[in-house]
Amino acid sequence: MFDSGLTLEYEVAFILGKLKENREKHIKEYAEAKEIYMKALAIKLEEALALVKDGKDIHLTINLEKPVNHEKDYDKTISMLSQSCNKTIQLGSDQFTKFIEDDWEWKDRFLSNSMTYKSMKL
């Protein structure tokens, strides 16, 4: 990630609001991805079971990456800020990117997997 070297002061209430908003969005995206993942997994397993019941030899490989819930990343940061006695706090560019722009180190992979599941025709 790009680090501009800047460190600026922000209101804790503003940061908390963004984190909570981003957390809710993540929870929704994760739930959608997990639901589709579970349906796709069930279909693959049912297909394999049908082959087994027909007495056919199978080699079972399931190429589905399980969605990962990163809710705890948000929860930890929200908890830390909620318990702070400061009204303002300094953020570097890396923290700003995560907390305000919602661009965590895992975000690209999470979104890529979510898009893969959403594009499946089940």
Tens of pLDDT along 40-95?
Answer: 999 999 999 999 999 998 888 888 899 999 999 999 999 999 999 999 999 999 99
pLDDT at 119 over 90: no
pTM (two decimals): 0.84
Rounded to an integer, what distance in angstroms lies between the CA atom of residue 117 and that of residue 122? 10
